[in-house]
Amino acid sequence: MAIVEPATGAELGRAGLADADDLARAARIAAAAQPDWAAASFEQRAAVLRRAGALIEQNAEELQRWMMRESGSIQGMVEFATYVASQECYEAAALASRPVGEILPTAQPRLSLLRRVPVGVVGVISPFNAPLILSSRSVAPALAFGNAVVLKPDPRTPVSGGMILARVFEEAGLPDGLLHVLPGGAGVGSALVTDPRVGVISFTGSTGTGRKVAALAAEHLKRVHLELGGNSALVVLDDADLDLAVSAGAWGSFLHQGQICMTAGRHIVHESIADDYVGALAAHADGLPVGDPTTGQVALGPLIDASQRDKVHALVTGSVDAGARLAAGGSYDNLFYRATVLDDVRTDMPAYAQEVFGPVAPVVRFGSAEEAARLATDSSYGLSLGILTRDVSRGLALAEQIPTGIVHINDQTVNDEAVAPFGGVLESGTGARFGGNANLDAFTNQRWITLRGDIAAYPF
Ligand code: NAD
């Protein structure tokens, strides 16, 4: 399979496409290798994770170049990706030595314990949009707790989403058989979900695919952690600093061409400042250079492929046809979609109501705080939320009324830290979390253990 650079259409290299037989073999080898790894001391496991983090840092420039070309990311985005991926490894190294259980109360003369044990083999399915971050946030902690991992990256980004990690962990001294990278599509993904040796699935992708994965996992009584789509709101209150709000709004909607699950897909702006906000955001959008990220400092690179571009454009034109005003953008050249601002937006217009996954900022106006809360809540998704205001308490009071997994007061919606528990509610996921201590729940099983000095006596 050709690995295609979206900015130029050039072939960057070729990758194998795994099939269900490859998957079964990988799962078998992983299951055989895992017990020795689980039995290794946490110091050994942590050392591998630390070396992996250091290798990502030391080779950051080379890795960034790959990500820039394979996924069309700009310099700032790939720098962020190598930073977060190395932090995922360091944080996982620290988790390896955390307490693995607790002492439980018991009514019997015995010691009663809860112990966290590795799941065995963890299956990871990751998407194209931030491949290194979204693969490493599961691979690193799963390995740290003594699991083996079978990773299926998106076939459009097999290097950034998989091979980089395979190479890094090989050099870091991870014993053979513990990490398998199998690029492939839906068929391999389904085989991973149904393989009896794979105990837990960590899935990041769209809500539609997440539903299918969840249904299949349910049939096989398998635990699945789902991190899905979003259509996050950025609420701008009347007292917000306009210049800073516009810059935050542009970053939240246009970073990585809007192909981020936390992208600000809905700008909900107080009516007293909305005209100024739209004017300034449109001017900002018009001034953002779009082009091949490798040729210099551009703010937006290409969308991943033509089908994604056509989907974005259909949502924009559908909204304009329904009466929205194109304040900026709305056109493209090849895969390069211009930063787009839509005004006079109604909440039933497609670019507002649906996840666009492109560089599009639709703006709606509100009058009262109640109206802002109602508008922001009116979505089937619940991933991230940003509220911009000079009055932090007012921002927090508003946030309390809007159900999302993540909220940032005085920041836009796109944020990620390896130490923070990341996840969404409603159709953005199952409420499961990755990051920090939440990784314990995601990548271990719990075991109840009791110990008595003498054998218990029974009536018969
Ligand atoms: P997608 O659901 O089409 O693909 C995601 C992964 O699932 C890919 O590896 C794909 O090959 C695989 N896949 C496809 N069909 C499958 C099946 N039937 N069984 C198993 N695996 C299958 O996602 P996409 O559209 O390429 O990615 C973008 C989506 O991901 C957006 O909706 C975005 O919001 C979401 N996303 C969510 C998060 C999060 O943390 N919540 C992060 C990044 C992206």
The CA 75 to ligand 1 mean position distance, Å, reads 24
Q: Which of 356, 380, 347, 331 is nearest to 258 (CA)?
A: 356
Give the angle 193-196-198 at the CA atoms, nearest 5°.
60
- Domain of 62? 2-228+429-450
Nearest atom in ligand 1 to 155's CA = 11
Q: What is the pLDDT of residues 357-368, one digit of tens each?
A: 999 999 999 999
Residue 431, pLDDT > 90, answer no
Q: How many structural domains are present in the chain?
A: 2
CATH number at residue 369: 3.40.309.10
Q: What is the pLDDT of residues 404-430, one digit of tens each?
A: 999 999 999 999 999 999 999 999 998
Considering the domain architecture, whether residues 161 and 181 belong to the same structural domain is answered as yes
Considering the domain architecture, whether residues 181 and 254 belong to the same structural domain is answered as no
The CA 186 to ligand 1 mean position distance, Å, reads 10
The CA 183 to ligand 1 mean position distance, Å, reads 13
Query: Is 290 part of any domain?
Result: yes
What per-residue confidence (pLDDT) applies to 70? 97
Query: Is 13 part of any domain?
Result: yes
d(CA 125, CA 127): 7
Q: Give the H or E element holding residue 219.
A: helix 207-219
Average pLDDT of span 389-405: 98
d(CA 270, CA 233): 13
Query: Is 118 part of any domain?
Result: yes
Considering the domain architecture, whether residues 212 and 244 belong to the same structural domain is answered as no
- DSSP reduced 3-state for 106: coil
What per-residue confidence (pLDDT) applies to 51? 98
- DSSP reduced 3-state for 217: helix
Considering the domain architecture, whether residues 246 and 197 belong to the same structural domain is answered as no
Banded pLDDT at 99 (limits 50, 70, 90): confident
Helices (H), 287-366: 306-321, 350-353
d(CA 405, CA 216): 25
CATH number at residue 207: 3.40.605.10
Q: Residue 421 is which amino acid? A: P
Residue 432, pLDDT > 90, answer no
Query: Is 258 part of any domain?
Result: yes
Q: Is 128 in the pocket of ligand 1 (CB under 6 A)?
A: yes
Q: Is 205 in the pocket of ligand 1 (CB under 6 A)?
A: yes
Considering the domain architecture, whether residues 326 and 265 belong to the same structural domain is answered as yes
β-bridge pairing 101-104 and 111-118:
antiparallel
β-bridge pairing 336-337 and 332-333:
antiparallel
β-bridge pairing 148-152 and 223-227:
unpaired
Q: Is 424 in the pocket of ligand 1 (CB under 6 A)?
A: yes
Considering the domain architecture, whether residues 190 and 283 belong to the same structural domain is answered as no
Q: What is the pLDDT of residues 143-153, one digit of tens each?
A: 999 999 999 99
Considering the domain architecture, whether residues 433 and 404 belong to the same structural domain is answered as no
Considering the domain architecture, whether residues 113 and 86 belong to the same structural domain is answered as yes
Average pLDDT of span 38-64: 98
- Does the active-site annotation cover 261? yes
Q: At 62, give phi and psi (nearest 5°).
A: -65, -45
Helices (H), 322-379: 350-353, 369-377
Work out the number of other CB atoms within 10 angstroms of the CB of residue 16: 12
The CA 443 to ligand 1 mean position distance, Å, reads 20
Query: Is 456 part of any domain?
Result: no
User: Which tokens in the block code for residue 441?
Assistant: 């729940």
Nearest atom in ligand 1 to 127's CA = 5
Q: What is the pLDDT of residues 253-303, one digit of tens each?
A: 999 999 999 999 999 999 999 999 999 999 999 999 999 999 878 999 999
Contact 442, 137 (CB under 8 A): no
Residue 202, pLDDT > 80, answer yes
Q: What is the pLDDT of residues 377-388, one digit of tens each?
A: 999 999 999 999
d(CA 31, CA 120): 7
DSSP secondary structure letters along 27-83: HHHHHHHHHHHHHS-HHHHHHHHHHHHHHHHHTHHHHHHHHHHHH---HHHHHHHHH
What per-residue confidence (pLDDT) applies to 18? 97
Q: What is the pLDDT of residues 216-229, one digit of tens each?
A: 999 999 999 999 99
- Does the active-site annotation cover 227? yes
| Mean pLDDT, all residues of the chain | 97
Which one is catalytic: 70, 89, 91, 261? 261
Banded pLDDT at 46 (limits 50, 70, 90): very high
- Residue of 235 and 98 predicted with greater confidence: 235
What per-residue confidence (pLDDT) applies to 283? 98
Q: Give the H or E element holding residue 206.
A: none
Give the angle 98-102-103 at the CA atoms, nearest 5°.
145
Q: Is 229 in the pocket of ligand 1 (CB under 6 A)?
A: yes
Considering the domain architecture, whether residues 321 and 433 belong to the same structural domain is answered as no
Q: Is 185 in the pocket of ligand 1 (CB under 6 A)?
A: yes
Residue of minimum CA distance from atom 42 in ligand 1: 261
The CA 90 to ligand 1 mean position distance, Å, reads 26
Query: Is 419 part of any domain?
Result: no
Residue of minimum CA distance from atom 40 in ligand 1: 227
Length of the chain: 460
What per-residue confidence (pLDDT) applies to 98? 87
Maximum pairwise Cα distance, the chain: 84
Considering the domain architecture, whether residues 92 and 177 belong to the same structural domain is answered as yes
User: Which tokens in the block code for residue 228?
Assistant: 């899905």
Q: Is 258 in the pocket of ligand 1 (CB under 6 A)?
A: no
Q: Give the H or E element holding residue 199.
A: strand 198-204
Torsion sign (Cα): 287, 288, 290, 293: positive
Query: Is 458 part of any domain?
Result: no
What per-residue confidence (pLDDT) applies to 180? 98
Nearest atom in ligand 1 to 429's CA = 41
Considering the domain architecture, whether residues 204 and 264 belong to the same structural domain is answered as no
Contact 42, 92 (CB under 8 A): no
Considering the domain architecture, whether residues 362 and 318 belong to the same structural domain is answered as yes
242, burial (CB in 10 Å: exposed 0-12, middle 13-18, buried 19+): middle
Query: Is 417 part of any domain?
Result: no
Residue of minimum CA distance from atom 22 in ligand 1: 186
Residue 458, pLDDT > 80, answer yes
What per-residue confidence (pLDDT) applies to 93? 97
